[in-house]
Amino acid sequence: MTKPRSAFKRAAHARHLLESEIDAWVASASASGDAHLIPLSFLWDGASMVLSTPVRSRTARDLLRAGRGRAALPNTRDVVILDGPIERIDPDVEATVIQAFADRHQWDPRLESTEYVFIRLIPASIQAWSVDSELATRVVMSDGEWADRTMGEPGLE
Amino acid sequence: MTKPRSAFKRAAHARHLLESEIDAWVASASASGDAHLIPLSFLWDGASMVLSTPVRSRTARDLLRAGRGRAALPNTRDVVILDGPIERIDPDVEATVIQAFADRHQWDPRLESTEYVFIRLIPASIQAWSVDSELATRVVMSDGEWADRTMGEPGLE
């Protein structure tokens, strides 16, 4: 069995991935209980995942309806899963974060001929693991609080 | 813009990944429209994805209720997405495929103290792409038929 990393180390690793990765798997569900899953570009703004997708898409419609979302990155052997509320972003009010999104992806959804919506997934919980021995302590954020910022100093891990 | 690979090449690549990868992202949805997403070990039996998860898990319950599933692998920059019906496998009737699953993963869910269920996702459609220029032709399986096995010889691509 591979030696598990501490929850502190995995919290830091999850933040690193959120800052360095450019897209994530985003799950959504219809009101009648059909699941959907697509990869979407995102920007981590330090506290939430900013996404953009056509306003008429199944994903946009269902995320906004459900008011909660679940996303995962980067792969099944280095897992980070986010769960939390979904909010629609007004790009006029939050022009700075939308411009940061456009700069990061060299793609500005505001310039598309199709209407795009900006959506924020605010993680309330985050799980991070890569080996089975880490599953028992896979929760690295709970109630919006990072494990390593609420559980004391790393020296205590 | 990166030159797109042909749908033929991507169909072959998707089959290669289904044969070589060991786990996939599996999306499910509750009857009331809440999405879920977890990585699960799978075995590709040549025509379907064989999965196993605790029978009381949210994923098992919701996949079996919905009767359809969606799974993706291996990552957001090399995308294969499967959609199709879900069937419950009777491990006594299909002992060979279940043993193949156990051998592949060096893990036999039948021996777990928790009750596991075996589930089959039979893809009716598969999408495969890695760059935007491939999006227009991302469907490599439709109505259960691989594009490269129904559209004529690769020489005609």
Interface of B with A (CB under 8 A): 23-25, 27-39, 62, 65-66, 68-77, 79, 81
| Cis omega (within 30 of 0) for bond into B4 | no
The structure tokens 């290669």 sit at B16
Non-local CB neighbours of B129 within 8 Å, separated by 6+ positions? B10, B79, B135, B138
| pLDDT more than 70, % of chain B | 95
Checking if the pLDDT of A112 tops 80, the result is yes
Checking if the pLDDT of A151 tops 80, the result is no
Checking if the pLDDT of B152 tops 60, the result is no
Per-residue pLDDT tens digits for B57-68: 999 999 999 999
Gyration radius of chain A's alpha carbons: 16
**pLDDT, average across residues B40-64:** 98
8 Å CB contact of B29 and A29: yes
8 Å CB contact of B34 and A73: no
Report the distance separating Cα A37 and Cα B26, nearest Å. 8
Report chain B's terminal Cα–Cα distance, integer Å: 20
- The whole-angstrom distance between B22's CA and the closest CA on chain A is 9
- The whole-angstrom distance between B28's CA and the closest CA on chain A is 5
The answer to whether A10 and A136 are in contact (CB under 8 A) is no
More confident position, B61 or A157 = B61
Mean pLDDT of chain A: 94
Q: Which residues of B touch A30 (CB under 8 A)?
A: 29, 33
| Predicted-complex ipTM score | 0.93
Return the percent helix, strand and coil in chain B, to nearest 5. Answer: 30, 40, 30
Residue A77 in tokens: 């052997």
DSSP bridge pairs for A43: A50
Q: Which amino acid is at A108?
A: D
pTM of the predicted structure, to 2 decimals: 0.94
**Which pLDDT score, from 0 to 100, does residue A95 have?**
97
Question: Binning pLDDT at 50, 70 and 90, where does residue B2 land?
Answer: confident
